[in-house]
Structure formats: C-alpha cells, structure tokens
Amino acid sequence: MLFDASQVLLALTVSLAPLTLLRIAPLTLTLPFALTAYLFVAHTLGAPDQAFAAALLAGTVTALVGMFCVGLVSDTYVVPRLF
C-alpha cells in the first residue's frame, strides 16, 4: 500500500497535534526549578554568591532533560502512526 504526499502530511500533522502541550511543559517548568534552587542555595545553605550559578544549572538541566523526554516520546509516538 503506497501513501501519497498528502496522506503522509495529514498523518504527521494529526499525530503531532496532541504533543503540543508536552512540548511546552518542560520549558515552563524551568522557572520554578531555577527559582527553588536559587532560594534553597541562598537561604538554606547560606551561600548567596553561589545561588545564581545553582539556579542557572538547575534550570538548564531541567530544560535539557525535559526536551530529551519530549523527543523520546514524539519519536515513539509519530513512527507507529505513520507506517
């Protein structure tokens, strides 16, 4: 069974639509994680000079792990629907 270009494009568009919220979530979660890390390091550990670096590290790691998971889910979600 052969697919023409319009069927493949439609299948790809329909299969990517539910993943929109999943793509946004990791990027919105970086701010709370970075803020929590900043407050924890500055107040609980008593090292305000290291708080910015800790917040930057926590936000970056959260974004990278989240985007990796989004890529993994979208790769496993799109392929079975297309073929």
pTM above 0.85, yes or no: no
* Distance separating alpha carbons of residues 75 and 83, to the nearest angstrom: 13
Q: What percent of the chain has pLDDT over 90?
A: 45
Tokens at residue 19, please? 């993943």
- 8 Å CB contact between 82 and 12: yes
Query: Into how many domains does the chain fold?
Result: 1
- Higher pLDDT residue, 77 or 32? 32
Q: Is residue 57 part of a domain?
A: yes
How do residues 1-36 score in pLDDT, each as one tens digit? 455 666 555 555 555 556 777 778 888 889 999 999
Quick one: pLDDT band at residue 75, thresholds 50, 70, 90? confident
* Distance separating alpha carbons of residues 45 and 43, to the nearest angstrom: 6
Q: Which amino acid is at 15?
A: S
Q: Is residue 34 part of a domain?
A: yes
Q: Is residue 75 part of a domain?
A: yes
Q: Is residue 40 part of a domain?
A: yes
Tokens at residue 74, please? 């979208």
Give the pLDDT score at 7.
59
Domain that holds residue 55: 20-82
Q: Is residue 63 part of a domain?
A: yes
Angle (nearest 5°) at CA 56 between 21 and 24: 5
